[in-house]
Structure 1
């Protein structure tokens, strides 16, 4: 029968296309976060921009197809497609100070739908060290942007990140999970407010004026009611520009030791792989509160041994609890409902995307059938291509609907051919 011949041809084309379809069971996330590691250990797996760029370039050597890495003060997580999660772990650890053994001993691994759900919870602020902290959203967005520039993100991952961003925005707009101001940078302000008297008389130094440092600086100005703040950055122009914008002071990096000696409060928001403030710079000076917001830690740990220094890091800041956090916890069920809705939408898109190569293959073959001598012989009312195209599209639309509703594919190949041949192009 002609239908059988045509069907065999379609099956051959379909098989070829199916082999190139993304398999969601090969999508993994492997990571560590604040739940099982302290700031020092997380620092061993933090990535600098240069390390991240190298990691992305080397991904194919580890058998990793699509990937991006989220590296923040609370977590380091690598997402991507691979045959085994170990490939992602090896790729990550190839660029970190921490070893593969250290990572595996503390890491969590999720695959497929569970990995997708995890990303949505992270982006929604539900997995933050301080519940509802949305600074992570910008960090994920930047990580994905960098990966796309290196051609390590394609249709699946780009769509996934965009859907996550939409869910995060919906949570922020439709729940009170972000009510109040609770983040690591704001927790630093709270700590200062609770432990330092007469703030206006204190000299504050902020080292690091990148995005995180900038947010910290604005919180200092907005909530402490002081402008006795000196900004220092390796790129002096950045510190000077922010100081001018907010009416503060700035100083070159060469003056760091001098400004440290004068300061009462020092905040560090740099991303250096090595400490930027050493014990010897703090020794023999007046009492100081030093808050290290960096991962890895950018204040030498031994500085805590000095009798004149109180050293606080992100883990200690995250323990702060107040009424704002209690209100946020009540909003968690609403946030999870939003995540469920958006992940379902993404999975619908994924299921239909799996069918696209098949539908295209069937459509191509139906067009070939329409112009084949055998089909023309069987169809005495054979008509022009324009009308045939309309008929073919109707058959494809019907096939797509059935595939979506019942998630069955095989029987629809023959059915589509039979429908086209049986009805002809009248």
Structure 2
């Protein structure tokens, strides 16, 4: 078993590259099946968020993973050079643990990534691409994350992406309470942003979603209204703050739509935050006057607030991770022994069955029970000792000395000296 992690994140790749390699929920199952169909790939799990895309695999080599990822997005592998990182074995374990604990996130110590990892693990399990290695890794990663949360204050002073959105809005408008706010999408990130924004008591709140039912559920909790995405061109001009995060593969809000909206607003400013990867808002919108468009990467400066107070807690978390990596090594070593242990047991049971059958036949022929037992014990002893004794006699020099030491330790002969 060889654990490999191939990926890119907000540290290694700009937003334009991250959205190129992102996976939407609708394509995840098919992608996982394609991945495990690649030569040398035995297990696979894909994590895709606004800040990272990562392949966790039990595979023979990372080169095959790079080729698969590049081909899937119609690129040459060398086009991804400089953006991708690749970890193997224990480095891969450390990376997985750090991601689960929020130590590799844009917001140090944030908790949302843990839920995203659990969703990715569930998707791989449903697709049938999760095996012993990845299951063992992530069950332990989730346990490490839980302990880090309970035993450190890593997330105590963190500024979430949702809270950062509110802070940025307050830099554009004197008071969010005077604003009309539109949320596009109804997923987890939008719910988090909506909770923070709702606490500021804006003048009006609306939720635009692909399906009205889900949009209505969130809007009802916020005391707002729901609309369909198809209504955006006619209504987006009504809102001062627009926050979007959907799983759409193409932009929902284009430059033309916002040009008409600004004209209808008589050039009153609009604050927009696009938290989606791939982006929901065309990048050209940022060039329009009176539109203040921010992406996930633009929020980095705001979310760094409180970082210093979390660094000491991060050091404690890193120490905990190092300790847990040793535990994973022991588990993995134990898993590697399983085939040998199974074969050794099978070998012993074959000898046992054969000699027991011989003893039964001897008893049936009238041989004395005491004599049968003595013969059974002698034969089993000889059969069990035959292979190690033959190996000792055949070995020479340094190899023989090593075998002697191994046999003495296996049979604890030193305790009899």
User: What does residue 28 of structure 2 align with?
Assistant: 52
User: What does residue 311 of structure 1 align with?
Assistant: 293
Asked if 2 retains the 8 angstrom alpha-carbon contact of 1:46 and 1:96, the reply is no
- 1:41-120 aligned within 5 A: 41-63=17-39, 64-96=41-73, 99-120=76-97
Alignment of 1:380 with 2:356, yes or no, is no
**Quick one: distance in 1 between partners of 2:224 and 2:237?**
19
Asked if 1 retains the 8 angstrom alpha-carbon contact of 2:233 and 2:257, the reply is yes
Name the TM-score, length of structure 2 as normaliser.
Answer: 0.82
**Quick one: distance in 1 between partners of 2:204 and 2:178?**
8
Asked if 2 retains the 8 angstrom alpha-carbon contact of 1:221 and 1:227, the reply is no
Distance 1:240 1:106, change over 3 A: same
Give the aligned CA root-mean-square deviation in angstroms.
2.8
User: What does residue 36 of structure 1 align with?
Assistant: 12
User: What does residue 176 of structure 2 align with?
Assistant: 199
Instruction: Give deviations 1:292-320, integer Å, cap 9, x for gaps.
Output: 11111110111111112111111110121
Alpha-carbon distance, 1:330 to partner: 1.8
**Quick one: distance in 2 between partners of 1:370 and 1:253?**
72
Asked if 2 retains the 8 angstrom alpha-carbon contact of 1:44 and 1:98, the reply is no
**Quick one: distance in 1 between partners of 2:172 and 2:164?**
12
Unaligned runs of 5+ in 2: 360-370, 385-401, 413-417
Distance 1:298 1:412, change over 3 A: farther
- 1:172-211 aligned within 5 A: 172-211=149-188
Distance 1:164 1:184, change over 3 A: same
**Quick one: distance in 2 between partners of 1:323 and 1:312?**
17
User: What does residue 212 of structure 1 align with?
Assistant: 189
User: What does residue 371 of structure 1 align with?
Assistant: 353
**Quick one: distance in 1 between partners of 2:372 and 2:82?**
68
Work out the number of aligned pairs and report it.
373
Name the TM-score, length of structure 1 as normaliser.
Answer: 0.81
- 1:193-342 aligned within 5 A: 193-222=170-199, 224-226=200-202, 228-283=204-259, 284=263, 285=265, 286-320=268-302, 324-342=306-324
**Quick one: distance in 2 between partners of 1:248 and 1:75?**
32
**Quick one: distance in 1 between partners of 2:94 and 2:258?**
45
Asked if 1 retains the 8 angstrom alpha-carbon contact of 2:107 and 2:158, the reply is no
- 1:132-143 aligned within 5 A: 132-143=109-120
Alpha-carbon distance, 1:263 to partner: 0.7
Distance 1:79 1:175, change over 3 A: same
Write out the 4+ residue segments of structure 1 that deviate beyond 4 Å after TM superposition: 374-379, 409-419
Asked which structure has the greater RCO (Cα within 8 Å, sep 6+), the reply is: 1
Alpha-carbon distance, 1:83 to partner: 2.2
Asked if 1 retains the 8 angstrom alpha-carbon contact of 2:179 and 2:203, the reply is no
Higher mean Cα deviation, 52-61 or 270-279? 52-61
Distance 1:320 1:357, change over 3 A: same
Alpha-carbon distance, 1:227 to partner: 6.2
Asked if 2 retains the 8 angstrom alpha-carbon contact of 1:264 and 1:289, the reply is yes
Helix, strand or coil for the counterpart of 2:46? Answer: strand
Higher mean Cα deviation, 337-346 or 171-180? 337-346
Instruction: Give deviations 1:260-319, integer Å, cap 9, x for gaps.
Output: 111111011112111110111111233101111111111011111111211111111012
- 1:393-412 aligned within 5 A: none
Alpha-carbon distance, 1:32 to partner: 1.2
Distance 1:358 1:378, change over 3 A: farther
Distance 1:321 1:242, change over 3 A: closer
